[in-house]
Structures are given as C-alpha cells and as structure tokens.
Amino acid sequence: MPTASKASRRYDLAGAVLAFMMAHPYCFYCRAGRHYYSDAFRRFILDLLEQYIDLDLDDFAEALQVPLDTLKELIDSDTGNVEPGELAPAQELSSSTGS
C-alpha cells in the first residue's frame, strides 16, 4: 500500500483539528489580540503529533494554523500537568501561513 503524500497527510490533520474544534467549540478563543487553547485542545495536539510523526514541525504547525513557536512551547511544556478547564495563552496567530 503506498504512503499518503505529505499534502494528503496535512489535509487529514487539518480535518481532524476542525472536527475536534466543532465538537469542542470553546477549545480555542481570542481575546484582546491573544489566542488561548484549552488543556483538552493542547493534549489533542500532542496526541496528533504522535500520529503524524512523519510530518516535520513546520508542516504540522501550518496544518494546525498554530504558530511554530507556540507548538514548540507546547511540546516542551508537558501539558499533562495543566488543570482541567485552565486556559493558557498562546502567541497571536499570524494572518498568513507562509511565515
């Protein structure tokens, strides 16, 4: 069975994130120009990272529409210790995905 292309994997990843956000409408919000992610969304991202290990972090972040620096901080921060319902700030998302 041939391996899925990188574009196909990114498309699947973006679809998984959209499905999660639709099922959990308050997992992400913006206030005063800052973006916030729920602990459940952060854990979901880490789970996805394990499933999409074949994508490099740049592609993974772009498919998620999460800044690369924010993704790296998430990976480094051991979010398993975040209390349920706690929201932690993330960097502001840029309007372009090409940077």
Q: pTM of the prediction?
A: 0.70
Structural domain including 36 reads: 26-90
Q: Please give the tally of structural domains in the chain.
A: 1
| Residue 6 confidence (pLDDT) above 90 | no
Domain presence at residue 69: yes
Domain presence at residue 33: yes
Domain presence at residue 57: yes
Domain presence at residue 1: no
Domain presence at residue 30: yes
Residue 23 identity (one-letter amino acid): A
Q: Sorting pLDDT into bands at 50, 70 and 90, what band is 58?
A: very high
> Which two three-digit tokens encode residue 66?
């999460």
Domain presence at residue 16: no
What residue has token string 């996805």? 48
- Tens-place pLDDT, residues 64-95: 988 899 899 888 885 454 444 444 444 433 33
What is the structure's pLDDT at 86? 45
